[in-house]
């Protein structure tokens, strides 16, 4: 169960929401996260340099097939004017032992950014290829950017020991009239290592990149890193 939680939190925390994957026998799961990152990249757009972030996320199990995820986050650039506060709701439907699908609603409030904040509505699918591999697809309409964002991502995750967990992910994204950009957007990838101090507390350094392909929001490739400190209730 611990490594299921770590995989979901590590995979999701780079861009809100951070989602904890709790066993269905547990009706309510809560996760709190604080972290420092060298840069903040959202959907291929370089929004901030060194930043501090705080996240709070939870899950309510509605039935054996349905769960509701919710969360709040705040990110602030340490030496600049950019900040982002966001909240989200996500309804997850279990279609089979391997396939999940759902809908999401996120609202972001941004200051001094190249992307406006606003409501973001999405649909997604998540397919567990096996115990180590997962494939996720998402389609979002961002009212702040007045455009559509499509992404497909593969994640590989593995327990190296009882306390150490490795996760690698990579994917491609596509934009349609997103801040006047259309076409292939970026290739994105991330590696993270989770160290569990206990079943409730872990420490996670990570390294990621975003490489523009055609219409992306950044002219050059971006490399960023950071670390998270997570507490799971």
Express each pLDDT in 176-219 by its tens digit: 999 989 999 999 999 999 999 988 899 999 999 999 997 545 56
Closest listed residue to residue 73, CA positions, set 65, 83, 59: 83
What pLDDT score does 28 carry? 55
162 or 103: which leads in pLDDT = 103
When mean pLDDT is compared across 3-12, 59-68, 110-119, the lowest value belongs to 3-12
- Is the pLDDT at 19 greater than 70, yes or no? no
d(CA 100, CA 59): 15
Closest listed residue to residue 22, CA positions, set 69, 71, 73, 87: 69
Look-up: residue for tokens 């670390």? 227
- Token readout for 169 is 């992910």
Q: Answer yes or no: are the C-beta atoms of 121 and 105 closer than 8 Å.
A: yes
Q: 35-82 pLDDT, tens per residue?
A: 999 999 999 999 999 999 999 999 999 999 999 999 999 999 998 889
9 membership: H or E segment, kind and range: helix 2-12
CA 194 to chain centre: 16
What pLDDT score does 190 carry? 97
Q: 72-92 pLDDT, tens per residue?
A: 999 999 988 899 999 999 999
The arithmetic mean of pLDDT across residues 137-157, rounded, is 97
- Is the pLDDT at 117 greater than 90, yes or no? yes
- Is the pLDDT at 3 greater than 60, yes or no? no
d(CA 141, CA 39): 24
- Token readout for 133 is 């591999």
- Is the pLDDT at 109 greater than 50, yes or no? yes
d(CA 155, CA 128): 10
Q: Answer yes or no: are the C-beta atoms of 23 and 4 closer than 8 Å.
A: yes
Place 233 in a pLDDT band, splitting at 50, 70 and 90. Answer: confident
Average pLDDT, the chain: 87
What pLDDT score does 5 carry? 40
Q: Count the residues in the chain.
A: 233
pTM: predicted TM-score of the whole model, two decimal places: 0.85
The arithmetic mean of pLDDT across residues 106-119, rounded, is 92
CA distances 32 to 20, 198, 201, Å, are: 10, 15, 10
CA distances 174 to 109, 114, 157, Å, are: 23, 18, 25
Q: Which residues have C-beta within 8 Å of that of residue 134, sequence separation ≥ 6? A: 7, 11, 126, 127, 128, 154, 155, 157
Fold of 2-232: Porin (2.40.160)
């Amino acid at each position: 169960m611990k490594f299921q939680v770590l995989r979901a939190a590590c995979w999701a925390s780079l861009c809100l929401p951070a989602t904890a994957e709790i066993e269905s026998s547990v009706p309510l799961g809560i996760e709190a996260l604080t972290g420092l990152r060298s840069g903040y990249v959202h959907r291929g757009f370089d929004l901030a340099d060194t930043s501090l972030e705080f996240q709070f996320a939870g899950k309510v199990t509605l039935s054996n097939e349905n769960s509701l995820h919710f969360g709040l986050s705040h990110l602030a650039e340490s030496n600049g004017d950019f900040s982002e506060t966001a909240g989200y709701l996500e309804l997850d439907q279990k279609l089979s032992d391997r396939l999940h699908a759902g809908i999401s609603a996120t609202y972001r409030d941004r200051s001094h950014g190249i992307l406006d904040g606003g409501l973001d509505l999405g649909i997604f699918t998540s397919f567990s290829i096996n115990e180590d591999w997962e494939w996720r697809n998402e389609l979002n309409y961002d009212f702040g950017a007045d455009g559509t964002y499509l992404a497909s991502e593969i994640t590989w995750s593995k327990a190296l020991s009882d306390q150490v967990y490795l996760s690698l992910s990579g994917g491609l994204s596509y934009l349609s009239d997103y801040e006047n950009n259309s076409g292939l957007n970026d290739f994105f990838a991330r590696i993270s290592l989770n160290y569990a101090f206990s079943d409730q507390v872990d420490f996670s350094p990570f390294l990621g990149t975003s490489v523009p392909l055609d219409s992306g929001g950044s002219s050059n490739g971006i490399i960023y890193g950071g670390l998270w400190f997570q507490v799971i209730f």
